[in-house]
Structure 1
Amino acid sequence: MPYAAYVFDAYGTLFDVHAAVRRHAGDVGPDSQRFSELWRSKQLEYSWTRALMGAYRDFWQLTEEALDFTLERIPGVDPALRGRLLEAYWKLDCYPEVPAVLKALKARGARVAILSNGSPAMLRSAVANAALDTVIDDVFSVDALRTYKTAPAVYDVVTTSYRLYPDAVSFQSSNRWDVAGATKFGFRTVWINRSGMPDEYADLKPSLILPTLEAL
């Protein structure tokens, strides 16, 4: 095995963050795509600003707050959908290739783990819903540190827990900013560029860019 551990970001990498809105797209209406994108962007923005301020709130609280903002920003969507959208977020779909890829890595003898901004309860629910419980060895949440990626201490959770040097870890994320942080920390990084976005952070390039996890 070239890498002792394969560590995955959760949201956007293993689990489709837009699945919650898509599940209720008919009720959300014609603004469903814009609604989902804004919900996601505010969720991330809140994590970055709170990390910088040192004013931690867990990721579920930020998810709720981001949804509340989005409902106000796009008033054509019925606020009564709030509860259903939040419930759907607990059971996001995983991407089609995820189970087979993780099983193959585990069969090759690698440790398979998640390193996520998600709260422990959110991650437990997502993993169980996708039936990945028997494939994933460990789920690491930033909640123990009370901060968010891209703080170096978050990535260090993996190396400390596994007693590995950073270059023994392959880290996969669909979020380019997350890949930049993991690259700076010293991980081998794979950017899962599902939406064909242009590259950023030229000084912190990933080791590999893939459209899905299939070629991992």
Structure 2
Amino acid sequence: MNDSIKAFVFDVYGTLFDVTAIKKECEELYPGYGEKISQTWRSKQVEYFMLRQLMGNYASLYSITHDALTYALNENDLQSSEQHEKHLLEAYLQLPLYSESKEVLTQLKDKNLVVFSNGSHDMLDPLVKHAGLEELFNQVLSIDDIKQFKPTPASYHYALEKLGLESYEVLFMSSNGWDVSGAKSFGFQTAWINRKGLPLEELDLEPDYVFDDLNGLLKWK
């Protein structure tokens, strides 16, 4: 066990919360298309924030999530409505936790637990509150404060400044390979929560730890 870790920093979407669960609400509104909508919605969400970062054309993740949903519906030639979009966006604020998330966080509650996400606070704060995690986290950090999406070095530097630590004292967790790679490149210790059993990213940035789910973090209990 590495005793140098002074902060356990968690990504949110796909790491603590199950973004794929949104397909249920999509299916209810658009029968037969739930899976397709949810997959495109998530992929376009990631694509759009990375493109906006490259273009220097920032928008909050909430706005990007709305745009990605519109694209997903258009791709499938589905009729959109303000009511449907509002319902799906609200569902994104109430995504379910993965089954082990709350128990693992509770067992680590004596540690310095922090959220660090590309989500804007109008997404993050309701999500964390709805899941009953407010008391478990010491900080909820959003890149919206500096308008620099992960995996830019500036985003991780912002988190490091807020933590007041050295980079090697931070263990950053994410299920997203691109996020783990960015954090590793910056100098954080990293744990890839490889929920889908995917191969390592070919970026010469191997994570320090690889776990199937968050239970692997209990080695620091």
- Specify if TM > 0.5: yes
The runs of 5 or more residues in structure 1 that have no matched partner are: none
Find the aligned partners of 1:194 and 1:31 in 2 and give their Cα distance. Answer: 24
Find the aligned partners of 2:202 and 2:36 in 1 and give their Cα distance. Answer: 26
1:129 Cα shift? 0.7
The percent of aligned pairs where both chains have the same amino acid is: 39
The answer on whether the counterparts of 1:179 and 1:189 sit within 8 Å (CA) in structure 2 is yes
The answer on whether the counterparts of 2:26 and 2:33 sit within 8 Å (CA) in structure 1 is no
Find the aligned partners of 1:9 and 1:207 in 2 and give their Cα distance. Answer: 16
Q: Work out which of the residue numbers 104, 108, 111 in structure 2 matches 1:105.
A: 108
Equivalent residue of 1:164, what SS?
A: coil
2:123 counterpart residue number: 122
Change (3 A) 1:24 1:45: closer
The answer on whether the counterparts of 2:60 and 2:144 sit within 8 Å (CA) in structure 1 is yes
TM-score (norm 2): 0.92
Q: Work out which of the residue numbers 82, 87, 92 in structure 1 matches 2:85.
A: 82
1:186 counterpart residue number: 187
Find the aligned partners of 1:201 and 1:58 in 2 and give their Cα distance. Answer: 29
1:201 Cα shift? 2.7
The answer on whether the counterparts of 1:180 and 1:201 sit within 8 Å (CA) in structure 2 is no
Please tell me whether residue 139 in structure 1 is matched to residue 140 in structure 2. Answer: yes
Letter in 1 for 2:50: W
1:150 counterpart residue number: 151
1:95 counterpart residue number: 98
The answer on whether the counterparts of 2:9 and 2:115 sit within 8 Å (CA) in structure 1 is yes
Please tell me whether residue 66 in structure 1 is matched to residue 68 in structure 2. Answer: yes
More deviation, 21-30/128-137: 21-30
Find the aligned partners of 1:195 and 1:74 in 2 and give their Cα distance. Answer: 26
Deviation per CA, 1:47-84: give whole Å up to 9, x if none: 00111111100000000000000100012x45243222
1:202 Cα shift? 4.1
Find the aligned partners of 2:91 and 2:129 in 1 and give their Cα distance. Answer: 14
The answer on whether the counterparts of 1:17 and 1:92 sit within 8 Å (CA) in structure 2 is yes
Change (3 A) 1:208 1:104: same
Find the aligned partners of 1:162 and 1:147 in 2 and give their Cα distance. Answer: 17
1:200 Cα shift? 1.1
The answer on whether the counterparts of 2:26 and 2:38 sit within 8 Å (CA) in structure 1 is no
